[in-house]
Amino acid sequence: MTNFEFVKTELKDSMLIVPFFSGDARGSFEKIFEKNIFNTAGINFNLSEAFMSISQKNVIRGMHFQYKNPQKKIVTVLKGECVDIIVDLREKSDTYLKYQTFILNDTNHNLLYVPHGFAHGFLSMTDDMHMLYLCDGAYYKEFDTGIMFDDKVLDIKWPIKDMNEAIHSERDMKLLSFEDFTKLDAFKDL
């Protein structure tokens, strides 16, 4: 039961993970994490916390990160579908300021590894979409922030027909601009 496939993405150090999945008339079984196998694939991940969010269709969450003591994340969709987006915010990286989109859903069962120094967000494509987050590193509320989903520097092309239909939290509507993010002096050592 160790059949994981690790696929490098266009963004340096991030990875799409196809987990072990088995289904029959009873239902299904899925293995989403095994520390030794992940380490062998180059993902050194020490689970610190796990949580789940539930979103309605057209909810945009993000683009989130922790600017000091950043967390690594592994995310997957347990129910429904989302377009998941990550942005490389590490100035020393070859893929700095590039973003990539991924379809995560309860059919493909894919997981996405989000390294330190990345912003993460998603657009829920279905009602009652359940996303599971596995996090490596402690959560620090005082360092938890993000960049606005529609920041012109990031220039993310969200796949929604009408942005007026997008649903955002009050917190997300007060996130940083990219210009304000650069004043944080975040991720300089990554």
Alpha-carbon distance 66 to 144, whole Å? 4
Q: Are 91 and 99 in contact (CB under 8 A)?
A: no
Q: Is 67 one of the catalytic residues?
A: no
- Tokens of residue 157, six digits: 């092309």
Residue of 96, 130, 133, 168 marked catalytic: 133
DSSP code string of 78-116: EESEEEEEEEE--TTSTTTT-EEEEEEETTT--EEEE-T
Q: Residue 113's closest CA among 42, 180, 52?
A: 42
- Tokens of residue 161, six digits: 């027909």
Q: Are 22 and 104 in contact (CB under 8 A)?
A: no
Q: Is 64 one of the catalytic residues?
A: yes
Helices (H) and strands (E) in the chain — how many of each? 2, 13
Q: Are 97 and 87 in contact (CB under 8 A)?
A: yes
Q: Based on C-alpha coordinates, what's the Rg of the chain?
A: 16
Residue of 64, 109, 116, 120 marked catalytic: 64
Question: Hey, which residues are catalytic here?
Answer: 64, 133
